[in-house]
Amino acid sequence: MTADHRTPHPPIQLQVDLGDRSYPITIGQSLLNSPELLARHVAGKRVAIVTNTVVGPLYLERVAGLLREAGMQVTTVVLPDGEEEKHWGNLMKIFDVLLAEKCDRKTTIVALGGGVIGDMAGFAAAAYMRGVPFVQVPTTLLSQVDSSVGGKTGINHPLGKNMIGAFYQPQAVIADTATLDTLPDRELSAGLAEVIKHGAIIDPAFFDWIEASIGLLMARDPVALAHAIQRSCEIKADVVRQDEREGGLRAILNFGHTFGHAIEAGMGYGEWLHGEAVGCGMVMAADLSHRLGFIDAATRERIAALVKAAGLPVTAPDLGAARWLELMEVDKKNEGGQIKFILLKPLGRSVIMPAPQDALLATIAACTARTA
Ligand code: NAD
Ligand code: GLY
């Protein structure tokens, strides 16, 4: 695909097919200027918008205004910003406001923000009065290509990432790509990690396209970004359709995450961005895949080069081997005390399996030793 820089793109409509829990994903520029789009997905007359102190000043008034114009009663919850704020205390703050404002079970919760807000607001929607409708309005690249789709919601625990949560699907996902204009470069790179992930685990042609388009993507070319978001959502929706509650296949979406979650928890939430940890984790998973003979050295280097070109770290923090193992033992994929990894076999296909200890330790040593 080629793209003229800054060419606008028409809205793209996708569907997550999950029977009576199916929902549309709309991807387009300036969707938050459209008076009817959001209101269309709100069944009742009450809405609670959950956002944070960074996204709120940028987009809250616009979204609240649209809903008020459509005749809705709007409550707002503005949480502190950051991964380190994705915890029980802030979840309770959402419930505090919902209860104080007497929000009933027909209230729709709108998650306005990145993956942290989407995961927390989605979990609040799953639990408030045993479940109220919610709509995802993702405003980061990461949340537009990944976290807003598929219904995983939750919060972190000091002992493990995303350890408390629920599967709970939204009514709709509305991804306004114009919101990416205000996104810091570091956050754009974090989102590209999940785009690369989708190509690496499932679609080698998409991986080739990302390699060829990384310059356009880093320059925020809107057509290239729209294609990256569309293809990522198509891939994710297809995996979720087949395995909504991660009985098997869906675990491949965690490529790079076993290492990545260990980096996030080991460094302290918020130190490394989730996408940065996933990017570096994919380099480690590719290294492990190579050590087990599943991909050749050239493919491992291709993956590392693309992660680097996306502005992401390729060298992991030196946590010490024992701490690495301890952190990776707290992972939802693990069974019977065995750490499980998503490995490439070959690029574009993935397997889920435990790894021999010697290969794992060699990967940890190689990927943390390169610190320069
Ligand atoms: P985030 O939500 O922390 O957002 C990143 C930063 O960008 C924050 O400071 C945020 O306030 C700011 N921001 C958001 N939109 C902005 C905008 N338009 N302009 C300027 N600043 C903006 O992080 P994220 O990368 O979006 O999401 C990471 C989270 O998503 C992690 O907690 C991760 O575990 C979770 N996640 C969940 C799933 C899932 O399936 N549920 C999948 C992947 C990741
Ligand atoms: N990001 C992993 C999943 O949604 O399953």
**Which residues does 38 contact at the CB level (< 8 Å), separation at least 6?**
32, 63, 66, 67, 70, 110, 135, 137, 174
Q: Could you tell me if the CB of 232 is within 6 A of ligand 2?
A: no
In this structure, are residues 25 and 233 in contact, taking their beta carbons and an 8 Å threshold? yes
Instruction: Give the ligand whose atoms come closest to the C-alpha of residue 193.
Output: 1
pTM summary value: 0.96
pLDDT value for 372: 40
Alpha carbons 39 and 303: distance in angstroms, whole number: 42
Given the residues 86, 93, 198, 274, select the one marked as catalytic.
274
Atom of ligand 2 nearest to the CA of 194: 1
In this structure, are residues 338 and 325 in contact, taking their beta carbons and an 8 Å threshold? no
Q: Could you tell me if the CB of 264 is within 6 A of ligand 1?
A: no
Identity of residue 247:
G
Beta-bridge partners for 49 = 76, 110
Q: What is the pLDDT of residues 245-299, one digit of tens each?
A: 999 999 999 999 999 999 999 999 999 999 999 999 999 999 999 999 999 999 9
pLDDT value for 330: 85
Residue 67 has pLDDT above 90, yes or no: yes
pLDDT value for 2: 44
Cα of 190 to ligand 2 centre, how many Å?
A: 15
- Side-chain-side CA neighbours of 74 within 13 Å: the count stands at 21
pLDDT value for 8: 65
Atom of ligand 1 nearest to the CA of 52: 11
pLDDT confidence tier of residue 1, bands split at 50, 70 and 90:
very low
If you average pLDDT over residues 333-350, what whole number do you get? 92
Given the residues 85, 244, 246, 264, select the one marked as catalytic.
246
Q: Could you tell me if the CB of 46 is within 6 A of ligand 2?
A: no
Active site (annotated) includes residue 261:
yes
In this structure, are residues 197 and 110 in contact, taking their beta carbons and an 8 Å threshold? no
Nearest CA to ligand 2 atom 3: 253
CA angle 181-183-184, nearest 5°?
A: 125
CA angle 103-81-31, nearest 5°?
A: 70
Nearest CA to ligand 2 atom 1: 253
Q: What is the pLDDT of residues 311-327, one digit of tens each?
A: 999 999 999 999 999 99
- DSSP secondary structure code for residue 269 in this structure: T
Given the residues 257, 300, 302, 340, select the one marked as catalytic.
257
If you average pLDDT over residues 160-179, what whole number do you get? 96
pLDDT confidence tier of residue 159, bands split at 50, 70 and 90:
confident
Q: What is the pLDDT of residues 210-247, one digit of tens each?
A: 999 999 999 999 999 999 999 999 999 999 999 999 99
Q: Could you tell me if the CB of 253 is within 6 A of ligand 2?
A: yes
Q: What is the pLDDT of residues 329-338, one digit of tens each?
A: 988 778 778 9
When comparing pLDDT for 2 and 283, which is higher? 283
If you average pLDDT over residues 47-74, what whole number do you get? 97
Atom of ligand 2 nearest to the CA of 246: 5
Percent of the chain predicted with pLDDT > 90: 92
Domains and CATH numbers, the chain: 3-182 (3.40.50.1970), 186-367 (1.20.1090.10)
pLDDT confidence tier of residue 4, bands split at 50, 70 and 90:
very low
pLDDT value for 35: 83
In this structure, are residues 150 and 236 in contact, taking their beta carbons and an 8 Å threshold? yes
Residue-averaged pLDDT of the chain = 95
Sign of CA dihedral 282, 287, 293, 296: positive
pLDDT value for 7: 58
**Which residues does 186 contact at the CB level (< 8 Å), separation at least 6?**
273, 276, 311
